[in-house]
A and B are shown apart, each in its own frame.
Chain A
Amino acid sequence: MKTILVVEDTDDDVFFLKRALKSASIPNPVQVVEDGQKALDYLSGAGAYADRAMYPLPFLVLLDLKLPYVMGLDVLKWIRSQREFDPMIVAVLTSSQQDNDLTETTRLGGNFYFVKPPTPEKLSDLVRKLATQTSHLMM
């Protein structure tokens, strides 16, 4: 079963995200990195993340925008600059629907965008959309 990579620096938000995934009965394994640099390292298999058996490439990245070191939108931009990650789905999480981040997310090639907290309903909805678009990616 394919992996979901969560890029989130707040423990609480990681907790609620994992809980919501469970409530939404999304069984995929979840990997968490706490900052933007680690996200880049994980995805490129650098340093501690060299072992792809332990740290498999995710089919879905749940990306917080306000991150230490490398900001979420920069992570998104980097992912979209790598050809081999083209099929990777990136869903951006943000604190406010007022953010101008939505337009930037769309412009930089993000696939989904939702406002925290990530409720089971929002995640089920996301997975449903993913299933219709990219069913082969989920399993």
Chain B
Amino acid sequence: MTEPRVNILLVDDEPTNLLALEATLESLGQNLVRANSGTEALRQVLDNDFAVILLDIQMPGLNGIETAAAIRERERSRHIPIIFLTGMDKTQETMFQGYSAGAVDYLVKPIQTDVLLAKVGVFIELAQARQRLHQEIEERTKTAVEISLLNQALADKNRELELRSAELQDTIQELERYSYSISHDMRAPLRAMKGYSDVLIEEASGNLNEEHRGFLHKISSASMRLDRLIEDVLSYSLLSRSKFKLKPIDTDELIREIIDQYPGFQQPQVDIHIEGKLPVVWANEATLTQCISNLLGNAIKFVPKGTQPRIVLRADVRDKEATIWVGDNGIGIAPNDLERIFGIFVKVHSAESYAGTGIGLSIVRRAAEKMGGHVGVESALGNGSRFWLKLKTP
């Protein structure tokens, strides 16, 4: 960085003295400003900043001492160092006057070039250092202002985002409430469809031909399917909205209870084997029950026609995390579908081959996440699947 040029003020009523000073100081490469009287010097310091003032004491009009005093009185020029130039006749008294008027130094005429250069040089460096400091402070202030502006903008953006996300949250909640109540209201007419077709099946089957009886059964089973779909949508949306506390749940006990309660999970429909003892995990009982039931139901559903589903349940615990494995002898899952099957309404089989709502596994995923866990699957086509559910252990 090249040093900025600084101003040096030379004050003397004798043009030859000024000329001599200029000749000497020129080599320093700074701006030399002349003033031939105290008044002129005062005018100069009014408009410009100086690294140092060389001030002759004996001048007509305002003398050097008076000029220095006036310079000191002004806020703008108070800090400018003044070197008095004086004849051999300087007395203790003028020295004292000079210092109290703000002189920092004296030079006695005839002035010695090297002494002058050395002393002025010090003040040039000082002024340059001060300028650098000012620049730095200015830059830092500018940076600080910029940062605070950026921070302000960031805070504004943040507020905007918070507002938007709150709005979105509201919209989502409204939509979920809406879908919940719609699903809820759809069940009444559906119950009527199913109920009346069942009444007809029971009481009027004799009056119908084979084909028409079939239609009636189709109405009944279609309304049942729609009802299951609605029930699953309700579960999913309720799960999304609900908040619950986690408690230590003994999965061994819970899973045995689930199997005991549903004939669909018992012999001869399915062969479920629990390997070893299953652990205690952090969970919500109802939600975990839903998870396990859906995983078991899923394992039972996707077997080749005519095969008895075989399910093996086991668990391992590592680093305060339990992994519960649900292995089956089902049809397996293609690599491309491994991630997809947890999405809502995703079915990778035709409705004819494997009936389902496409929500069961999304419920499992949502439920697992709500309990601070994860769910996933390992599988290969034709080789069965091993679903895993990871939950924290107490």
| Chain A interface residues toward B at CB < 8 A | 10, 12-13, 15-16, 19, 95-98, 116-117
- Complex Cα gap A95–B187 (Å): 7
Cβ of B351 < 8 Å from any Cβ of A?
no
A14 to B: closest C-beta gap in Å: 11
Contact B191 A16 (CB under 8 A): yes
Question: What are the nearest 4 A-B pairs in CB distance?
Answer: A12-B192, A16-B195, A95-B187, A98-B234
14 new A-B contacts, CB < 8 A, other than A96-B231, A98-B234, are A10-B188, A10-B192, A12-B188, A12-B191, A12-B192, A12-B195, A12-B196, A13-B191, A13-B192, A96-B184, A97-B231, A98-B231, A117-B191, A117-B194
| Chain B interface residues toward A at CB < 8 A | 184, 187-188, 191-192, 194-196, 199, 231, 234-235, 238
Contact A98 B238 (CB under 8 A): yes
Contact A96 B187 (CB under 8 A): yes
- Complex Cα gap A10–B193 (Å): 13
B148 to A: closest C-beta gap in Å: 49
15 A-B pairs (CB sep. < 8 Å): A10-B192, A12-B188, A12-B191, A12-B195, A13-B191, A13-B192, A16-B195, A95-B187, A95-B188, A95-B191, A96-B231, A96-B234, A98-B231, A116-B187, A116-B191
- Complex Cα gap A16–B187 (Å): 14
- Complex Cα gap A4–B304 (Å): 50
Chain B residue contacts of A96, Cβ below 8 A: 184, 187, 231, 234
Which single residue of chain B is at the shortest CB-CB distance from A95?
B187
B202 to A: closest C-beta gap in Å: 9
B212 to A: closest C-beta gap in Å: 22
Residue of B184, B195, B234, B238 near A117 (CB, 8 A) is B195
Chain A residue contacts of B234, Cβ below 8 A: 96, 98
Chain B residue contacts of A19, Cβ below 8 A: 199
Contact B187 A98 (CB under 8 A): no
Chain B's interface: helix, strand, loop or mixed, by majority? helix
A123 to B: closest C-beta gap in Å: 14
Chain A residue contacts of B184, Cβ below 8 A: 95-96
- Complex Cα gap A117–B220 (Å): 14
A107 to B: closest C-beta gap in Å: 17
Chain A residue contacts of B195, Cβ below 8 A: 12, 15-16, 117
Which single residue of chain A is at the shortest CB-CB distance from B187?
A95
- Complex Cα gap A16–B235 (Å): 25
Contact B188 A13 (CB under 8 A): yes
Chain B residue contacts of A10, Cβ below 8 A: 188, 192
B194 to A: closest C-beta gap in Å: 8
- Complex Cα gap A48–B184 (Å): 33
B251 to A: closest C-beta gap in Å: 22
Chain A residue contacts of B187, Cβ below 8 A: 95-96, 116
Which single residue of chain B is at the shortest CB-CB distance from A117?
B191
B385 to A: closest C-beta gap in Å: 27
Chain B residue contacts of A13, Cβ below 8 A: 188, 191-192
Which single residue of chain B is at the shortest CB-CB distance from A94?
B184
- Complex Cα gap A13–B199 (Å): 13
- Complex Cα gap A19–B234 (Å): 28
Chain B residue contacts of A95, Cβ below 8 A: 184, 187-188, 191
- Complex Cα gap A95–B186 (Å): 10
Which single residue of chain B is at the shortest CB-CB distance from A15?
B195
Chain A residue contacts of B192, Cβ below 8 A: 10, 12-13
Chain B residue contacts of A117, Cβ below 8 A: 191, 194-195
B302 to A: closest C-beta gap in Å: 25
- Complex Cα gap A96–B238 (Å): 11
- Complex Cα gap A117–B187 (Å): 10
Chain B residue contacts of A16, Cβ below 8 A: 191, 195
- Complex Cα gap A16–B202 (Å): 13
B261 to A: closest C-beta gap in Å: 14
